[in-house]
Amino acid sequence: MSEPDNPKTAQHLKAACKERYARQILLPQIGSKGQQALGKSSVLIAGAGGLGSISSLYLAAAGVGHIIIADHDHVEESNLNRQLLHSETSLGIEKVKSAANRLQELNSSIKITPVQKKLNAKNIDLLVKKIDIIVDACDNYKTRQILNRASIRHDIPFIFGGVQGFNGMVSCFIPGRTPCFECIVKPPKNKIDKGIIGAVAGITASIQTMETIKLLLNIGSRADRLENRLLKISGLDMKIKSISLEPDPDCRVCKHINCK
Ligand SMILES: [Zn+2]
């Protein structure tokens, strides 16, 4: 959070922040120290669609100091069943512009950096240089590969989230501590059906956000977090499974890192 020049304004802002975050500061796991830590944190949200809509709103509301949100698409009508950052007035405009407007409306005391780019192996390094966590909010395997490899190169946690139909999946991939995304998820053989119920993106992204905040503040043990676990959510029969993960000994991406 940037410090204003006028000390009176600074005091006023401090009081306003205290009021805004009062309900989470009350939590012993967060408190004033945790709130300050959130204010100093930076997160990259890769995608301003169904998952990115919810994770960015909750992270902005929680007071994460700097949110970089990247997406190259424009808002279309078929997005509006799940991409709650956007509205009818945003149709046709860049998703990141629509996102930045909405997030800044929600919380003007944090910094939002919209990045109107398709992420690739070249531009990702600059984006993740000074961030603490990568939040996966994309919709394709190739971009996840790029994020996974950047996470390993820069030693940054990667919060994976995937949705399809009524189903969602979440895991925390942490270099040196867990398998990586490519140990666990292999490239799809068939074309993926794009049908989705909006609420499953909401559930999945909310769990990703919980894990992001827990990691940023080091809340709970590794077992409490989704480290070495894949959470599978089935919205149709409302069953949630936690599956233990092992690194793939043949994974070429993280094999130089000792998973423990
Ligand atoms: Zn791996």
pLDDT tens track for 92-151: 999 999 999 999 999 999 999 999 999 999 999 999 999 999 999 999 999 999 999 999
- Residue 75's pLDDT is 98
Q: For residues 110 and 67, is the Cβ–Cβ distance under 8 A?
A: yes
pLDDT in tens, 46-91: 999 999 999 999 999 999 999 999 999 999 999 999 999 999 999 9
pLDDT in tens, 160-212: 999 999 999 999 999 999 999 999 999 988 877 789 999 999 999 999 999 99
Contact assessment for residue 172 and residue 225, using Cβ atoms and an 8 Å cutoff: yes
pTM of the complete model:
0.93
What whole-number distance in Å separates Cα of residue 147 and Cα of residue 160? Answer: 10
Residues with CB under 5 A from ligand 1 (ion): 180, 182-183, 251, 253-254
Residue 255 Cα to ligand 1 midpoint, Å, equals 6
- Judged against a pLDDT cut of 90, whether residue 5 lies above it is answered with no
Position 153, amino acid: R
Tokens for 97?
């512009």
The Å distance, Cα 247 to ligand 1 centre, comes to 6
**CA 190 to chain CA mean position, Å:** 26
- Residue 63 Cα to ligand 1 midpoint, Å, equals 32
CA 77 to chain centroid, in Å, comes to: 24
Which CATH superfamily does the domain covering 41-244 fall into? NAD(P)-binding Rossmann-like Domain (3.40.50.720)
Calculate how far, in angstroms, residue 151's C-alpha sits from the geometric centre of ligand 1. 11
How far is the C-alpha of 219 from the C-alpha of 209, rounded, in Å? 13
